[in-house]
Structures are given as C-alpha cells and as structure tokens.
Amino acid sequence: MSTTDASTTETATTSIWLDLLGSGAGERFYDVKGVRTRVIEAGSPDLPALVLIHGTGGHAETYCRNMGPLSKHFRVLALDLPGHGFTDRPAEAPDVAGYAQHVVDLLDTLGIERAHVSGESLGGMVSAWVGIAHPDRVNKIVMNTGTLARPNAAGQAQLDDLEQRTLALRDNGVTREGTRHRMNWLVADPSRMTDEMVECRLRIYSQDGMLDSVARIMSSVVGMLRGDHGDEFMAPGVLKSLAAPTLVLWTEDNPGQTTELAEQVSADIPNGRFEVLTDCAHWPQFERPDVFNQTHLEFLLED
C-alpha cells in the first residue's frame, strides 16, 4: 500500500463547464441496444478510450474536475448509467453484471474495441466486473472507493444512512436542502460540495419518476452489500479473476468500506496495486482532483 498525501495545491473551481473548457467536451446521447444513454465526451476520438463510471445515484458530472486533464491523453467517456442522470430508466434495478454489459454495449455502439475503465463506488464494482466478465474489452481498471466486498457492521450502518437520505428525498419531496444533505455524505468536508453541483443533482432528481428509480437502485445496491442478494459479485476471492492491471484507489475517510478491508481484498488481484489518498472521503475525484488526476495518468500511461 502507498499513501498519497493531500498537500497538493488546488485552484478553486467556479463552474462545472469551466473545468471542461478547451477539452472539446460535449453532451451526447447514444442508442445503446435500445437504451438512450447520455455521455459527456472529451478528447480526440483518435486517443485511447477511457470510460468513467459514477456511483449509485450519480451522473456524469461526477467527473467534471477530471475530464479536462485526462482528455489530453484519452478519449474520455463519462456516462450516465441506466436509471441515472438523463439515461433511460429501467423498470427494475440492474445488477452489477447488467451495468457492466451496458458499458460493453456502449463500447460496441461507438466502435471501440478496448478501453480503460475507471469507476467510483458502484462504478468501481462495475469496472471490476467489466474486467472479470469481459477481459478482452479492457486495458486497465481503476476501482475508486468501491470494491467487490461486503462491509463490516460499521460500514454497513454508514451505507444504510445514505439509503435513508435517499429515501427521504423520495418520500418527502426533492428539496435543495435534502439534496445537499445526501451529497454531503460523499465528502470529508461539506464546504467542498459546491452549490452548483448540488443544483445539478437537484435538477436531475427533479425529473418525473427519477427519485423512484434512484431509490430503487440504492436499495438494491445497499441490499447486495448487506447480503440480501448478489452473492456472485461479493464472493470471497472473486477479484482473483480480475486479470487486467488494476489500481484500487482508496481514501482514509471512505464511508461504507474501510481502508483495511479494501486493502485486504485488493491483495487478491493478480496484477493490482493499492493506493490511499488523504483528506477526502467517497469522492476523491471531486475533493482532491489534482492528485486524483495525476495518479490516474501515472497508472494508465505506464507501460
């Protein structure tokens, strides 16, 4: 394990789209086997592809502080998973394999043979499953604050808390205050959760039926981690089947799954490494973008 210190100087961000200036970023919609899928793209189509996958209840803007720097080296594709953002919402919550298949179907739609895949939280689990179930479609994997392992009791209690914050939004109505309360769970310092990001999430959650979808997916994911279902994804030693070079990127303050647990299960990855970022929680890509981006570039560009 290595620990990356958080002493890097960062510049205050004033706008999601200011972060994307000059990257060629744009919002596009693709028909992915009948699922209208929203993708924010940046970088030249001639560059190697890098798919970025958000967590439960998230959306592509999760990576607004990363796409610009990463797009200098990659064709970056940050998607809204089914049931999230502005992508079509299925009647039932997909499982990890279903999300992984959708990522592969997106690659097929875009004519991309292989890609790097990096995911946060649920996106980390999906990234790992893409590598396990579709090894011929990936180059390298990054699992960011999400891994294929069930938490301890304290971690499960934190995940249950996030589920309750989500259900409260569904049951009591989507408000700016309630949306911020949910999003503050993601960061070590709530002052870092910008008004603009809260407003972005609020507008997404205000779509008709959106909170029903998010709550359904949240309960499914938390239930899987609790042990209600999904044993095939949480089986001890499952990461031994992940052959691609893999970086597990964790934080000292990640809620839900401890650093110790993450490091223990990461040891199963045949070609894996484990790094810990300081002074951030569940969203290191947003709280510590400079060090997050540099860590990605060092890993993904390494021969």
Cβ-based neighbours of 18, under 8 Å, separated by 6 or more: none
Rg (CA), the chain: 17
Contact assessment for residue 166 and residue 215, using Cβ atoms and an 8 Å cutoff: yes
Tens digits of residue pLDDT in 75-111: 999 999 999 999 999 999 999 999 999 999 999 999 9
Contact assessment for residue 201 and residue 183, using Cβ atoms and an 8 Å cutoff: yes
Whole-prediction pTM: 0.94
Map out the domains of the chain as residue ranges.
Answer: 2-149+235-300
Nearest to 179 by CA among 148, 153, 210: 210
* Superfamily of domain covering 2-149+235-300: Alpha/Beta hydrolase fold, catalytic domain (3.40.50.1820)
Tens digits of residue pLDDT in 102-159: 999 999 999 999 999 999 999 999 999 999 999 999 999 999 999 999 999 999 999 9
Q: Please state, in angstroms and as integers, the Cα–Cα distance from residue 140 to each residue in 45, 75, 87, 112, 265, following that order.
A: 18, 14, 25, 15, 18
